Amino acid sequence: MNDLLEKFESELRAFLEFSYNSSEKQDTVERFNETEKAAFEFVYNSLLNAPDLIARDVEVSTQRIIDEFIRSKDI
């Protein structure tokens, strides 16, 4: 289970960076909003494709990773 969660967290971090950097929005808040929406879609799809993970397993780490990502961009 820990391996699955670590893989999920790693993929989510990479996805956030990719989504934010590929956004065409100029306004930083809009870029974060777009990225966060995409992240929740990513989480949903990840849960669909990983039958051994459930929402409760990734809920805390998802929020932590999103918060860390936003802080890392110095807003």
74: left (phi over 0), alpha (psi -120 to 50) or beta: left
Cα(17)–Cα(49) distance, integer angstroms: 21
Assess whether pLDDT exceeds 80 at residue 73.
yes
CA triple 3-45-55, angle to 5 deg: 60
In this prediction, residues 2-6 reach a mean pLDDT of 90
pLDDT of residue 1: 67
Tens-digit pLDDT profile for residues 22-66: 999 999 999 999 999 999 999 999 999 988 889 999 999 999 999
